[in-house]
Amino acid sequence: MTAQLIDGKALSSQLRADIARRAQALKAQGKVPGLAVILVGDNPASQVYVRNKVRACEDVDIRSVLERHDATMTEAELLARIHALNTDPAIHGILVQLPLPPQIDSHKVIEAISPTKDVDGFHVASAGALMVGEPGFKACTPYGCMKMLESIGMRDLRGRHAVVIGRSNIVGKPMAMMLLAANATVTICHSGTKDLAAMTRQADIVVAAVGKRHVLTADMVKPGAVVIDVGMNRDDAGKLCGDVDFDGVKEVAGWITPVPGGVGPMTITMLLMNTLASCEGLA
């Protein structure tokens, strides 16, 4: 058996078409969704990520405001900028690109963003809303993973066992909460979990979000399982790859996301979705 691909690029394109349609409807009402993106310093990877986010906004008629600041920017200066954007009615979402320079406390910065504009879904209020099932912004990467599951008919996960490998606050924990909200039974592990394979072989859904190559191999997967690969790594030849041994696992799994072309495109799409929802007053 060869797994069917969950094509994140194709799904992202479909969702962005709907986002663009809704943005046009808002524009007809005199509303323009606005996203402020703040980049501090000159981290090369961050510059690429920010450029992609700004371009994605342009493609769906969301106004983006990009602020570039020197790496010497102080924490107080950044907090002041966030405060100004919090009170700007033309801005519906605020994104501060991580990592930040060492003199700035990332947690303090994230918590300074108004929960009503936290379109990255990192604020403690967003996490709390997710935990108790109240409306709020969902963290973009796990939100994209859930949309991918929905695209293959897995919306209600009652009776399904999901294993999340990766315990970070950015992906692992919010991913687990979203799976729980969809009625799945969830186990959170990390790459050092004792007998990790015994856990993953029980799972109907495995989400690998560690940032380490070949964390999940074919012998660790139950036949027919859904495998979501969140990892972004480079192989020995410098080629982009995920956390999953794709060539091996695809011969066992029922569904699998590729890297690239899987979760990556969905992350930015869900950022656009959150910004649009903020403008619509739905979050």
Tens of pLDDT along 72-83?
A: 999 999 999 999
Q: Is 97 annotated in the active site?
A: yes
Minimal CA–CA distance to 272: which of 56, 32, 9?
Answer: 56
Distance of CA 139 to the CA centre of its chain: 6
DSSP string, 92-145: -EEEEPSPPPTTS-HHHHHHHS-GGG-TT--SHHHHHHHHHT-S-PPPHHHHHH
CATH number at residue 110: 3.40.50.10860
Which residues span the domain enclosing 36?
30-115
User: At 182, which CATH number?
Assistant: 3.40.50.720
145 shares a domain with 246: yes
Q: What is the pTM of this model?
A: 0.94
Q: Kindly state whether residues 152 and 257 are assigned to the same domain.
A: yes
> Is position 121 within any domain?
no
Which residue among the candidates 97, 204, 229, 250 is catalytic per the annotation?
97
Options 117, 118, 120, 245, the catalytic residue: 120
Side-chain-facing half-sphere of 180: CA atoms under 13 Å: 14
Q: Name the active-site residue from 7, 14, 42, 53.
A: 53
Looking at residue 167, its pLDDT comes to 80
- The reply to whether 105 and 158 lie within a common domain is no
Q: How many domains does the structure of the chain reveal?
A: 2
Residues 198 and 256 placed together within one structural domain of the fold: yes
Indicate whether 86 and 159 sit together in one domain. no
The answer to whether position 282 is within a domain reads: no
Using one digit for the tens of pLDDT, what is the confidence trace for 44-61?
989 999 999 999 999 999
* Residue 1 pLDDT level (bands cut at 50, 70, 90): low
172, amino acid identity: G
Residue 164 belongs to a domain: yes
Indicate if 68 and 150 belong to the same structural domain: no
For 161-178, write each residue's pLDDT tens digit: 999 999 887 899 999 999
Using CA atoms, how far apart are residues 274 and 283, in angstroms rounded to an integer? 7
Answer yes or no: 120 catalytic: yes
pLDDT at 283 (0 to 100): 58
Is the residue at 7 inside a domain? no
Which residues in 137-160 are b (16+ Cβ under 10 Å) and which e? bbbbbbbbbbbbbebeebeebeeb
Other beta carbons within 10 angstroms of residue 90's beta carbon come to: 12
CA dihedral sign, ordered 155, 268, 120, 216:
positive
